[in-house]
């Protein structure tokens, strides 16, 4: 669990985890999916789709070298990946309230086959 204070901190932590997975542990970018509560253009990655040496792409786009797929939790329902980075939990939203975050955690977490990293805003996850 990665507790973050804001969108910039979340972006930085995701970059660090991607570097660790790909450069240090040898995980293929094709085996990683970033799932968020919001569409890519409404996420912390909108203006910074280049994350380290990798570029985020919509999960519906064809695979390409040095890219990692991004999808909303809803659109990824029924799909899986070896490594899931679950982002945007607790991000300020006019659509989602506290009761939504537990459902997003459950659905998003169940998409990971082997590795799960959850990025949540401070105060969303009980101590």
Label the pairing between strands 2-4 and 112-121: parallel
What is the radius of gyration, based on Cα positions, of the chain?
A: 13
pLDDT band at 108 (very low <50, low <70, confident <90, very high): confident
What is the C-alpha separation between 82 and 127, in angstroms, rounded? 28
User: For residue 54, is it left (φ>0), alpha (ψ between -120 and 50) or beta?
Assistant: beta
Sketch the domain layout of the chain as residue ranges. Answer: 2-121
Residue 2 near residue 13 (C-beta atoms within 8 A):
yes
In angstroms, how far is CA 12 from the centroid of its own chain? 12
Strand, coil or helix: 112: strand
Angle among Cα 80, 85, 87 to the nearest 5 degrees reads 120
As a whole number, mean pLDDT of residues 9-18 equals: 95
pLDDT band at 38 (very low <50, low <70, confident <90, very high): confident
Residue 16 near residue 10 (C-beta atoms within 8 A):
no
pLDDT at 54: 95
Spatial CA neighbour of 68 closest among 104, 29, 95, 107: 29
The CATH number assigned to the domain with range 2-121 reads 3.40.50.300
Tens-digit pLDDT profile for residues 46-99: 889 999 899 999 999 999 999 999 999 889 877 889 999 999 887 766 666 666
């Amino acid at each position: 669990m990665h507790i973050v204070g804001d969108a910039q901190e979340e972006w930085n932590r995701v970059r660090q985890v991607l570097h660790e997975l790909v450069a240090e542990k040898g995980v293929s970018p094709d085996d990683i999916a970033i799932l968020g509560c919001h569409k890519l253009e409404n996420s912390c990655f909108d203006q910074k789709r280049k994350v380290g040496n990798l570029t985020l792409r919509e999960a519906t786009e064809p695979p390409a070298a040095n890219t990692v797929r991004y999808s909303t939790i809803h659109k990824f329902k029924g799909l899986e990946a070896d490594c899931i980075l679950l982002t945007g939990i607790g991000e300020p939203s006019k659509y989602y309230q506290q009761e939504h975050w537990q459902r997003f955690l459950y659905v998003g977490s169940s998409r990971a086959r082997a590795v799960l990293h959850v990025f949540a805003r401070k105060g969303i996850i009980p101590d």
